[in-house]
Chain A
C-alpha cells in the first residue's frame, strides 16, 4: 500500500524555526516533493529531494533519508505569511503522478 504521514496541525510564533516531518511507505520511490498551499489557492512548489541529505533554499530547507522513509521541511525566521498547509508528496515510480500526504496546517502567530 501507499502511506504518507504528516502531523495535521502545528503552531509557531514569528521569527521562530519549525520542522514539519513526513514519513512514507510506498511501493517505489523516485523522489519527494514539498508544496505550500495557502487557503483557497493552488499548491506551489517548494522543494524536491532525490538523494539523502539537506537541500537549502533561502529560509526553507528540506531533508531526506531514503533508508528511513523520512523527510522534513525546515522553515526558519517564520513570517505570518508562512501560515499555510504544507504538503509532502512522493513520486512512487508508478507513472507520472504523485501521492500526496494529508498536509500539515501551520499557523504562525505574532
Chain B
C-alpha cells in the first residue's frame, strides 16, 4: 500500500457545524502533515506530527484542531469555520529517514 487516503473528498459545512477530515497511510511513515491550499497558490503548512506528537503548529486558528490517534491516522477537527477557510486540505506523510512527502488526494472544503 503506497498511498495516502483522505475522506471525505468533498465537504460543505455551515459556520456553526462541527466536522472532521480524516487521513490514513499504511506505509509506516512516522511524520504526517496537514496543508491548506487555496486556488492557484502553493500548499501552506498547518501542522506536522512526528512519531504521533505535534511538532509544528504554524499559528493555525484554534477552530482547526489536529489529532493523531495512532501512527497511521491523522484527523483534522473543524469547528466554527469561516467562509475564507474554504480550500483544498491536503494530508501528506513521509518516512522517518526522508523528507519526500507523499500527498493524499485532498478534501475540498466549502464553508457556507
Residue with the highest number of chain A CB atoms closer than 10 Å, among B42, B45, B100? B42
Against A, the Cβ 8 Å flags (1 = close, 0 = not) of B70-112 are 0000000000000000001010001000011111111010000
A45/B55 in contact, CB under 8 A: no
**Partner of A87 from B42, B50, B56, B88 at Cβ < 8 Å:** B42
Count chain B residues whose beta carbon lies closer than 8 angstroms to a beta carbon of A.
Answer: 24
B42/A100 in contact, CB under 8 A: yes
Count chain A residues whose beta carbon lies closer than 8 angstroms to a beta carbon of B.
Answer: 22
A100/B101 in contact, CB under 8 A: no
Closest A residue, CB atoms, query B41: A102
**Partner of A42 from B45, B94, B99, B105 at Cβ < 8 Å:** B105
B43 CB–A CB distance under 8 Å:
yes
A19 CB–B CB distance under 8 Å:
no
A41/B43 in contact, CB under 8 A: no
Interface residues of A (CB under 8 A from B): 30-31, 33, 35, 40-45, 48, 87, 91, 95-98, 100-103, 105
